[in-house]
A and B are shown apart, each in its own frame.
Chain A
Amino acid sequence: MAKFTPHTENEIKEMLSDIGAQSMGSLFSDIPGPLKPKSFNLPEGMTEYEALSRLTTLSASNETGRILFMGGGFYDHFIPAAVDAVSSRAEFYTAYTPYQPEASQGTLQAIFEYQTMIAKLTGLEVSNASLYDGGTAIYEAAAMAIRTNGRSRIIIDAGVNPVYRKILKTYVINQDVDIIEADLKDISTDREKITALLDEQAAALIVQTPNYFGIADDYTDLFKICDEKGITKIMVFYPMSLGVLKTPGEMGADIAVADGQSLGLPLSFGGPYLGIMVASKGYVRKMPGRIVGETLDRNKKKCYVLTLQAREQHIRREKATSNICSNQALCALRAVVYLSLMGKEGFRKISLLNLERASYLKEKLGAFTEVKPGATFNEFTVKLKGDAGEFVKKMEKKGYYAGIPASIYYPDKKNYLIIAATEKRTVVEIDNFAEAFKSAL
């Protein structure tokens, strides 16, 4: 059994005697006898070697050898080794929330730089220190809108990641909040439908680009209507796409949220990821979560602290802007290191490379299958002749995760398959995939 308590028998005796306790048991004498555990049947402890052997076996029994053409909001991007190296610094990962600024300048400055890069990337002004993930960030953005304009109806485009929409709906089951989903026109935003929903009752409009089917859109027009009606404009974005695509700021969004997985985080079966939230200045006091600010110390030296804490639960309790406490700080650290390594030109190129590879694949598949029209980034939709779910199973046997059958979330789209190609997919891989695809049809 691996054990991490350092006490020797002698020390235990000494300590008990200093405490004035008869035995270890007497320290627990406040727990009434009838409340003792009815059972506590856990296996015997393992050595470190035994435990890691078991984990290694479990890890190996996951099928990760197949080549990934599956996205759905979570992508197979390359992570430079330096990201792991920096985030493996124990001074970062074994520290707590930086409530003691004199002992936490490292974490604080890193988050401050993260906030800056997210603001730059999105063209908006204020980023917080992170939220849990993309889906919970959408709820938090909707809650900000409701707090700001006092309305309670949320209009959300059905092209927003269905997983996120499920989270949003679950969050509000016990609140007087109306969620209205605007159905798509095939796989794109139905502008007429949304425009009809934008009235003075609406608190927020939530749209996503690229949407779940990969369609890249410009929402400037709908956001203009929102401005006229006092509706908060919330945009869900894909960080990697912002190397080339129009930013939330450029479209006029008030709040932009995203899952930051593409910025240096492994897929890891769904987490930990990174909830990104960034907004225009006017929303800062309504924002949830931690925010780092710059200030001066007693000697007028520049330094960083958690600021605007009066919004947060540990001060405001039930009147806080959110209940969030722990966030995804280490994931934000990975993102800031990733973005620093990529830099201005590297990030643009990686982003463009995604576009290039996916466009190439689209062209290849387009030669023999129906590719849905519309501008896309690194993901697009094809319509097969048969069931996409069955097709994906066939492709697994050929060594590929060929995409996401849309019917998982859109039951009426049984033959639609959503396919992604990131910068990691080589031309050879794409050629082979296209061939396998054709033969599986």
Chain B
Amino acid sequence: MDNIFSKSVKGRSGVDAGKVNEKAMEAIPASLRRAAESGLPELSELDVVRHFTVLSQKNFSVDTHFYPLGSCTMKYNPKANEAAAALPGFTGLHPYTALIDEEAAQGALEVIYDISRQLCEITGMKRFTTQPYAGAHGELLGILLTAAYHRKKGNNKKYIVVPESAHGTNPASAAVAGYTIITVAVDKEGGIDIDSLKEKMNDEVAGIMMTLPSTLGVFEKRISEVVAIAKKYDALMYYDGANLNAILGKLRPGDVGFDIVHINLHKTFSTPHGGGGPGSGVVGVSERLLDFLPVPVVAKDHTGRFILDYSVKNSIGQVASFFGNFGVILKAYTYILMLGREGLIDLSEKAVLNANYCMAKLKAFYDLPYDRVCMHEVVFTAKKQNAYGVHATDIAKALIDRGIHPPTIYFPLVVDEAIMIEPTETESKETMDFFIEAMKEIAGLAQTDPEKIKNAPVTTEISRPDETKAARDLKLTCF
């Protein structure tokens, strides 16, 4: 579709900015004024609305398509969440309001206080901060807290241990926080390799980052052993909450011995992904990290009023301008209120049920590297189809032709040709049956007519893009 600049007509405008006195410009000296025009396009309101509405129709989304994107938890986002975040008492609230007068922001502070307490109960942690804007941002905060803890104790630590199945953000966040990464292999069952871990552990390990259930969609049966090993070396245990959707009411990271937990509210707690964000990566900590949390902490005084507490003894400072992505936090809060205890347990059960159902129905057709009960997602591979020259990416593109957003492919990296399916709990049996039939048909075609799969998609407006060209002949703006 033509870009928006090509639709620009000189002299057209989408808003009436109101009356302005051109002389106002005299308030600033000529040397401070912009010389070049802004170059923004000139369009009517309808031009703009139509342009972007038509663009929206080129997307697959949860509201329009089944979206079993492993590791991303693309569940339905209840509309009540959106309604709550759009309430004028929240959208119109300036973040400085609480800083100059807590009294004037009691409702917002209560939301932060309340959801923090709910998340503590859900995860077994002692306190939460809502500052991190996304999962990776939560990871960074968690590792900075780890650093502050060791520094305070006078420990000399250099390394963070990460299993090779981890999300790329784990090693990247630890590196940004100043650590060197030690990678540990995965065993035959899909869990962290305990022998390899024991071999690589040393006194300079600051922490171990774990995803539970693992990114292979299976539970780490030996997690207690990992916790014991960490303890021996005074290393902190970090829980990557990307897969929390599988275990609500079934296991709490705090009970297991984790010190730091980040939760992707945009996964488990149903805030929409927005085409890549905004998310929220709230972080919970155990007792021994309370003194390092970012400030301000939202607390309740003896009269029941909500206040900002800056008295955290060894606070690391702050990682966000204010309280994080508050609008996102509101959506998660609404969701938790609606579901309550039973609803949260129910969602994890149905998420696991749906993933196991897909696994059971598809394992005769696709290679299953870890053939055991899965949690909320299942990892297949395209190995069987490789024999006919068909790869995971081809299967993904063929699914697009069938009106289904592809699963995550080529992740986790430890499995070649991975196809990672996370149906989520909000999808019905019919939807999954439709997907299962599509996957079977594709597996069949891979044998009988592989070219058809390799040419997919053919129903979309564009065929497969030349990504090499995109990176080689960089064109990053319309002009």
Contacts and interface: CB of A to CB of B under 8 A. Distances in A.
Contacts of B118: 42
B405 A64 contact: no
Interface in B269-313: 270, 272-279, 281, 294
Contacts of A337: 48, 52
Interface in B343-392: 343-347, 349-350, 352-354, 356-357, 359-361, 372-373, 375
Contact of B136 (A113, A216, A324): A324
A3 B339 contact: yes
A82 interface: yes
B244 interface: no
A91 to B, nearest CB: 4
A422 to B, nearest CB: 12
Contacts of B405: 96, 100, 103
A77 B54 CA distance: 27
B448 interface: no
A270 interface: yes
> Nearest 3 pairs between A and B by C-beta?
A45-B340, A270-B322, A59-B89
Nearest to A271: B325
Given A1-B338, A246-B33, A42 B121 contact: yes
Given A5-B426, A15-B357, A343 B12 contact: yes
Interface in A360-386: 375-377
Contact of A340 (B14, B100, B136, B223): B14
Interface stretch (B18-26, B195-203, B229-237): B18-26
Given A56-B87, A167-B320, A82 B49 contact: yes
Contacts of A411: none
A327 B136 CA distance: 10
A286 interface: no
A245 B28 contact: yes
Contact of A355 (B14, B24, B52, B218): B24
A130 B325 CA distance: 15
A47 B277 contact: no
A266 interface: yes
23 contacts: A27-B349, A63-B103, A64-B92, A80-B45, A82-B14, A93-B275, A96-B273, A136-B319, A170-B294, A171-B176, A171-B319, A173-B147, A175-B178, A269-B322, A272-B325, A295-B469, A326-B264, A327-B277, A329-B278, A343-B43, A375-B28, A392-B101, A396-B101
Interface stretch (A17-25, A200-208, A225-233): A17-25
Given A298-B463, A327-B276, 17 more contacts: A1-B339, A5-B425, A15-B354, A27-B349, A30-B219, A32-B221, A72-B96, A85-B49, A90-B61, A92-B61, A106-B57, A269-B94, A269-B327, A296-B465, A307-B470, A340-B14, A342-B17
Contacts of B20: 349, 352-353, 356
B373 A29 contact: yes
B91 A266 contact: yes
Given A269-B105, A325-B135, A307 B346 contact: no
Interface string B409-449: 00100000000000001111100000000000000000000
Given A1-B342, A291-B476, A333-B275, A6 B426 contact: yes
A106 B80 contact: no
Given A5-B346, A59-B90, A64-B88, A123 B17 contact: no
B328 interface: yes
A326 B279 contact: yes
A328 interface: yes
B274 A329 contact: yes
Contact of A327 (B76, B134, B320): B134
Contacts of A312: 168
What bracket does the count of chain A residues touching chain B fall in? 35 or more
Quick one: which of A45, A243, A322 has the most chain B CB within 10 A? Answer: A45
A48 B18 contact: no
A322 B357 CA distance: 37
B89 A42 contact: no
A54 B337 contact: yes
Interface stretch (A184-192, A400-408, A431-439): A400-408
Given A60-B89, A339-B40, A345-B13, A305 B34 contact: no
A270 B320 contact: yes
Contacts of A126: 476-477
A305 B360 contact: no
B125 interface: no
Contact of A346 (B17, B176, B457, B476): B17
Given A27-B373, A343-B41, A35 B255 contact: yes
B40 to A, nearest CB: 5
Nearest to B31: A218
A176 B178 CA distance: 8
Contacts of A50: 337
A125 B39 CA distance: 13
A193 interface: no
A72 B95 CA distance: 10
Interface in B88-134: 88-101, 103-108, 110-111, 118, 121-122, 124, 133-134
A303 B18 contact: no
A326 B266 contact: yes
B467 A216 contact: no
Contact of A101 (B134, B224, B372, B462): B462
Contact of B316 (A173, A359, A392): A173
A176 B158 CA distance: 13
B51 interface: yes
Contact of B36 (A66, A88, A250): A250
B63 to A, nearest CB: 4
B25 A355 contact: yes
A44 interface: yes
Contact of B40 (A18, A120, A246, A423): A120
B83 to A, nearest CB: 6
Given A58-B89, A342-B40, A173 B144 contact: yes
A26 B342 CA distance: 18
A268 B336 CA distance: 20
Contact of A5 (B294, B316, B350, B471): B350
A16 B361 CA distance: 12
A95 B62 CA distance: 6
B60 to A, nearest CB: 4
A140 B153 CA distance: 29
B259 interface: no
A352 B400 CA distance: 47
Given A116-B478, A243-B38, A30 B373 contact: yes
